[in-house]
Structure 1
Amino acid sequence: MDIKRSLLLLCSSYGSFLFGQEKAVDTIYIFDSQMSKVKLFHHVNSITPQDAEKNSSNLSELLRFQSPVFIKENGRGGVSSPSFRGTTAQQTALVWNGININSNFLGQADINNTALFGYDQIGIKPGGGSVIYGSGAIGGSIHLNNELDFNKGFHANLFSEVASFDTSNNFVKGSYSNEKFSFKASGNYSVSKNDYKVSDLRYTNLNGNYYNTTFNVGISYKVAPNQKISWQSQFYDSSQHFPIYEETETKTKYRTQSTRSLISWDINTLKLSNSLKAAYTEENFEYYGNIKAQKSSGGTGKNYIFKDDFNYFIVPKLNVNVIAEFQVNKGEGYLSGIGNVSRNVGSFSGLLRYFATKDLRFEGGIKKDFVEDINSPLLFSLSGKWKATDWYNASFNVSKNFRYPSFNDIYYEPGGNRDLKPETSIQVDLTQEFSVGGFKLRVTPYYMDVVDLIVWMPATASYWKAFNINKAEFYGLESQLNFDKKWGNHALNLGAGYYYSKSINKETQKQQPYVPMHRGNAHIDYGYRFLRIFAQGLVNGLTYTTSDEKRTEAIDPYFVLNTGISATVLKKYTLGFKVNNVTNTYYRTVSFYPLPKRNYSVYASINF
């Protein structure tokens, strides 16, 4: 497999005898060719499709309960922003098969307008990564990855769920592969009236309905023993209504469609690999201030991307990796003051990896971006990992990262600012892992300093404007404890995480809005033969919503518990039942928009 081949080559310092095992593992192609290298030096939390079924409402719910990402969601199914380590959504990179897909206009992603199903793996990587994944990878990155098997024959999966608030989720996937050809396609349709009630506020989520449709297709063909041509595409369409408080209010909605397509030519030999990619991404969005009238605003963004990733072993212990990328970013707004705008973006990265022993490795990287009309800084990264004993290992990461202004930041009228500088950050973290028996404890303190932070602030009484004014620092602790054990027909997996975040505006010395200082999550999964039971909990501390830490406006701490049970018959047919918010907790992640109280779902899955 290409990703396993890369991992195998990068671990060649374990002994040259590994090269002889290469052919036996050549079974999978993963479109993000850098992910195996990233995992050698950074912790990446992987969420499988089976994990995703536990939180199948949307991507927001999945990340909230199964990752360290903080989710700011304007009610279930509404506008939703992810953030790492106290940073912002603009400082979070959303990466699809190795391609950064943050919006040209907003500089961020709305993850409730991002498909939940259709990926073979979702990766969560805290910490800076601009040297590899570009603008916005300051606080962390979310990776949506697809893979293709070879010589696996035919497989298919069907998942269907009905849930509270007239919600339905349906997903189908099919794949076929032989020794030289691999094909996979999937489709998803989710729809919900989403009219939940919250008695604490006498609130009904009026006009909260939504739907989204996704189609994915992937093809790979071995043109030679060491070469593959591959293609991956995604098509997404959704409609998202925004809640109102009274029936007499004007109803609004937001529609978006996106297209992503990627073609790759990959060459792999014992000493070198090269991945040449061409990609096209497009986003179309329309906002309706009155759903019965014409659209009030909108836009179309298009990206043409060319990328080459060359990897070569000079000697078995020394590896050089060169990445060159060129993009053309285009945008056209509607009633936003943004006309036809275009920006050329190029970059050149070099990384050197040294494998001193099988237990000690280092990586250093530099990158220079060339962004039209923007003076971009020289970026760098330095990482190391040491397995000191069987029960202890440590790793460190230091990097300089950045984000250049989005089209809205520069061109939106009124408020855009053509004199903006890119945000830059210096970050350092140190991870220590302890393993005893079935227990594994990981602890990561971190520090990050950001300058030229881009913020929108009131310029006059009538409009806001983008400025480079804030300087901020972010520091805290991420910790995760896991336990895994199997005996006989039993299987048990436990996990708990605690996340401490300080996000300080240096000018005011106050905590930034919507950054809870204390958060935690935990889960338990137990299986006995054909039965599976799970429970997952989330704790969120006091969250200020204003820059002056006004307690009366803050979101109170809350605890939410979900649980579910499923049974699998003949290894093919699964029937499950879930209860979300068992504790019937009143909670919210932003002011004014509560999330649902206790609700239920029933699902069925067939694998063949």
Structure 2
Amino acid sequence: MRFLYSLILLGLCSVYAIGQTQKDSVLTLETVVLSDVKLLKNTYGFKTTKLKDSVLENDSKSFTDVLRFNSNIYFKENGYGMVASPSFRGTNASQTAVIWNGISINSQLNGQTDFNLINTNNFDQIVIKNGGGSVQYGSGAIGGSIHLNNTLDFSSHFEHQVRLSYGSFNTQKASYTTNYGSSKFAANFGFQYVTSDNDYKYLDTDDVNENGAFNNLNFNLNLGYFISDHSIIKLFHQSFIGERELSGTLNTISRSKYLDENFRSMIEWTTIGNTFTSKVKLAHLQELFKFYQNKTADNYSFGKVNTYLIKHILDYNVSNKLALKSILDYNYFEADGSSFGSPIRNAFSATAIATYKPNAKSAIGLNIRQDVTSGFKSPLLFSVDGSYRFNTNYKVLLNASKNFRVPTFNDLFWQPGGNPNLKPETSYQVDLGHQISYKWVTLDLNTYYIKNENLIQWKPSNSGFWSPINIDQTHSYGTEVGLTATKSLGKHQFKFTGNYSYTISENTKTKKQLIYVPKHKANLSLAYNYKRLSFYYQHLYNDMVFTTSDNLTGPFYSLPDYDIANTGIKYQLIKNKSHDLKIGLDINNVFNVKYNNVAFRPMPNQNYNIQIHYKF
């Protein structure tokens, strides 16, 4: 403990000392739009993809669908609108970190984030980072990380947006966002309400999705205030309250429902000097669920976790070539649940990062991290990354890292089935990337290798219930390709984007592909814009996946491959300095394809959605 106290004291003293030496200096801000800008600065050797506003404004799409059609990530979804979990480079859902304004929001119960509980309208910036990130983002950032950021704009403005949509299966959405800014104060606020009967037809049957209705309310509030020319205080808050009936399968009728409540609040104090930036984050996160086996009954099981966090980040520019960064992070988790008792966990980490840019062509980053987690001995983590630009058309990127994941409360304590003897997962990986650009075309090519030790996997036990075990070794390797082409011909604008991934993820002993990992996945999107009219077409191909570890094929052992497509059209009725009004129509699953990405859980048939989007 003396070591931990010394690190905390050293960090606080360094902030105080730098603050004293810089307090009388003159500060010039490069930008008045503040967000998690350090993400891209400290990832020179990693592939990062920022989703464009035009993608996020596609109102009829869930966040799951946005990523499914615009990235290399594969998603399992237990029927439309139900639990959606990602597989990033052949890893599982708990090995993908979701970062909200610089802190991890993965569940402490199952280690995952349900992407159907995230509303894209609540965020100004979404960035996908491929590759291991445990050094900066902690447990779970093994396959990759997804960053949800809220920006605060301190320029003078006052804007509003209203979105309304109605679609098949009585799906209704309504959202409102407002954004205000002045030289000292900035604020944005938003909410969205969604409700759907979700009673789509099961193709080639006479059945419908009887127990799939859902509704949810999202709310977010973000505030920023310049205390002085050198100091900014920011508040971030998000609330999610949702209720879902849980769809059954082709063979089983369900009468259950699930209630979710997630609350996130964070205060951030930023001090900016000529050579340093200091951030202190204080946060409280709460996740709560209630599960009703019979939705008409009063009996339910429940689980709740409160997370209390304090984090200090110090960026110091030694020169215009060398920058240093330290991160001190303390988390306290307390849980209570009908199936796992009342566990408590303390976690502290210390991270050191150095980035060196000797010239405009090259950059290198070195990172180390040590965690101290109650009940576990965490390994020393490292990461090295770099990039080199040979010319204006070609850039190479390289990164290597050691990452980890601590078992969750469910893994350890769930009754029946929890395994308190689990070991933390560790991962080693290397990633080589190429970026080639010429005129209006950009090509990204990445190859990677990931070796996992003590992978945690739930399997049926001899006692008849599921239980997690450590698998000695698994590995993943593959290739990712991304292509973007943008071309304007007079008033006609064209944009093409495409992604392809080849993934092998297998148990090194059995040489069998892990379940729910497609070897091939590809998507493409074509957008066209002429004056006030815009049109898009997007297509997804998903290779077959195995649903059992034996890698047998057939209706009970695997899911066949599928092709699905969406299309849409928008027209701008009003366009001037003060008002912007658009109407749109989307057609999803254009060719009415029968498909599912979880066994015996069909996805929707062809469906429609109309939208109105008004900015003023």
Matched letter for residue 589 of structure 2: N
Question: Which residue among 586, 596, 602 is the counterpart of 2:604?
Answer: 596
**CA distances 1:307-335 after superposition (whole Å, capped 9, x unpaired):** 0110111122111110010000111012x
- Tell me if 1:307 matches 2:315: no
Q: Distance in 1 between matches of 2:498 and 2:114?
A: 27
2:52 is the counterpart of 1:44: no
Cα deviation for residue 147 of structure 1 reads 0.6
1:266 paired to 2:270:
yes
SS state of the match for residue 358, structure 2? Answer: strand
1:565 matched residue in structure 2: 569
The answer as to 2:159 corresponding to 1:155 is: yes
Q: Which residue of 1 aligns with 2:68?
A: 64
1:26 corresponds to: 31
- Residue 443 of structure 1 aligns to a residue in which SS? strand
Distance 1:451 1:248 in 2: 36
Where in structure 2 are the equivalents of 1:16-415 lying within 5 Å? 23=28, 25-30=30-35, 32-54=36-58, 56-244=60-248, 249=253, 251-334=255-338, 336=339, 338-415=340-417
Per-residue deviation at 1:269?
Answer: 2.1
Q: How much does 1:556 deviate?
A: 1.0
The answer for the alignment partner of 1:453 in structure 2 is 455
Q: What's the offset of the Cα at 1:488?
A: 2.8
Amino acid aligned to 2:611: Y
Letter in 2 for 1:520: A
Q: Please identify, of 51-60 and 145-154, the stretch whose mean Cα deviation from structure 2 is larger.
A: 51-60
- Deviation (angstroms), 1:500: 0.4
For 2:84 and 2:472, the matched residues in 1 are separated by 24
Contact 1:56 1:116 in 2 (8 A): no
1:112-168: CA deviation from partner (whole Å, max 9, x where unpaired): 123332111221111100011111000011111111101232011111110111001
Segment of structure 1 superposing worse, 292-301 or 274-283: 292-301
Q: 1:320 aligns to what SS in structure 2?
A: strand
- Whole-angstrom distance in 2 between the partners of 1:93 and 1:370: 19
Question: Does residue 576 in structure 1 map to residue 584 in structure 2?
Answer: yes
Partners of 2:288 and 2:304 lie apart in 1 by 5
Name the CA distance, whole Å, in 1 between partners of 2:311 and 2:148: 18
- In 2: Cα distance, 1:85 partner to 1:201 partner: 35
Following superposition, the deviation at residue 407 of structure 1 comes to 0.3
Partner SS state of residue 138, structure 1: coil
SS at match of 1:356: coil
Whether contact under 8 Å (1:403, 1:422) holds in the other structure is yes
Do the aligned partners of residues 249 and 500 (structure 1) sit closer, same or farther apart at CA in structure 2, a change above 3 Å counting? closer
| 1:468 counterpart residue number | 470
Question: Cα–Cα, structure 1 residues 284 and 387, in superposed 2: closer, same or farther, change >3 Å?
Answer: same
- Give me the whole-angstrom Cα distance separating, in 1, the residues matched to 2:522 and 2:487: 23
Structure 1 residue 507, shift from structure 2 partner: 2.1
Could you tell me which amino acid in structure 2 is paired with residue 41 of structure 1? Answer: G
**Superimposed CA distance per residue, residues 12-62 of structure 1 (whole angstroms, 9 cap, x where no aligned partner):** xxxxxxxxx9947421111x3532324543222122443123363422111
Letter in 2 for 1:94: V
For structure 1, which segment, 198-207 or 587-596, has the greater mean C-alpha deviation from structure 2 after superposition? 198-207
Q: Which segment drifts farther, 46-55 or 453-462?
A: 46-55
Code of the residue aligned with 1:276 in structure 2: it is V
Task: Flag the 1:456–1:199 CA change in 2: closer, same or farther, 3 A.
Answer: closer
How big is the shift at 1:250? 5.1
Assess, with a 3 A threshold, how the Cα gap between structure 1 residues 78 and 470 changes in structure 2: closer, same or farther: farther
Whether the 8 Å CA contact 2:88–2:143 is kept in 1: the answer is yes
Distance in 1 between residues matched to 2:543 and 2:512, nearest whole Å: 16
Deviation at 1:485, TM superposition (A): 1.9
Q: 1:49 touches 1:119 (CA, 8 Å); kept in 2? A: no
Structure 2 residue aligned with 1:551, among 543, 550, 553? 553
Deviations 1:181-234 (A, max 9, x none): 001100000110000002224431111000110000000001111210000100
Judge which range, 487-496 or 383-392, deviates more.
Answer: 487-496
Between the aligned partners of 1:422 and 1:247, the Cα distance in structure 2 is 37
What letter matches 1:101 in structure 2? Answer: I
One-letter amino acid of the counterpart of residue 549, structure 2: S
Per-residue CA deviation, residues 422-458 of structure 1 (Å, 9 max, x unaligned), is: 1000010000011112111110000000001111223
Aligned to 1:486: 488
Change (3 A) 1:57 1:211: farther
Deviations 1:441-496 (A, max 9, x none): 11000000000111122332322222223410000000011101234322211111
Equivalent position amino acid for 2:71 in 1: S
Higher relative contact order (CA 8 A, sep 6+): 2
* CA distance in structure 2 between the partners assigned to 1:250 and 1:181 by the alignment: 50
Unaligned runs of 5+ in 2: 1-25
Give TM-score, length-normalised by structure 2. Answer: 0.92
- Structure 2 CA distance, aligned partners of 1:121 and 1:542? 33
Distance 1:600 1:477, change over 3 A: same
- Measured at CA, do residues 264 and 33 of structure 1 come closer, stay the same or move farther in structure 2, by a change above 3 Å? farther
- In 2 relative to 1, CA 418–461 (structure 1 residues): closer, same or farther, beyond 3 Å? closer
- Please state whether the residue corresponding to 2:318 is helix, strand or coil: strand
Check the 8 A contact 2:60/2:609 in 1, yes or no.
Answer: no
Question: Letter of the aligned partner of 2:435 in structure 1?
Answer: E
SS at match of 1:109: coil
Q: Equivalents in 1 of 2:410, 2:594: separation in Å?
A: 35
CA distance in 2, matches of 1:63, 1:503: 21
Instruction: Please give the alpha-carbon distance, in whole angstroms, between the structure 2 residues aligned to 1:403 and 1:38.
Output: 22
Q: Structure 1 residues 511, 390: closer, same or farther in 2, change over 3 A?
A: same
Return the offset for 1:417.
1.8
- Look up the match of 1:541: 543
What RMSD, in angstroms, separates the aligned Cα atoms of the two structures? 1.7
More deviation in 396-405 or 122-131?
122-131
- The whole-number CA distance in structure 2 between the counterparts of 1:91 and 1:463 is 24
Q: 2:254 & 2:262 partners in 1: Cα distance?
A: 27
Report if the CA contact (8 A) 1:204-1:245 is conserved: no
Contact kept? 1:477, 1:500, Cα under 8 Å: yes
- Which amino acid counterpart does residue 577 of structure 1 have in structure 2? L
Instruction: Tell me the percent identity.
Output: 36
**Displacement after TM superposition at 1:246 (Å):** 8.5
8 A contact 2:43–2:385 mirrored in 1: no
State the shift of 1:544 in Å.
Answer: 1.1
Query: TM-score under structure 1 normalisation?
Result: 0.94
Q: Distance in 2 between matches of 1:544 and 1:340?
A: 36
Q: CA deviation at 1:293?
A: 1.2
The answer (yes or no) to whether the contact 1:163–1:601 under 8 Å persists in 2 is: yes
CA distance in 1, matches of 2:228, 2:287: 35
Separation of aligned partners in 1, 2:487 and 2:70: 20
C-alpha distance in structure 1 between counterparts of 2:52 and 2:243, whole Å: 27
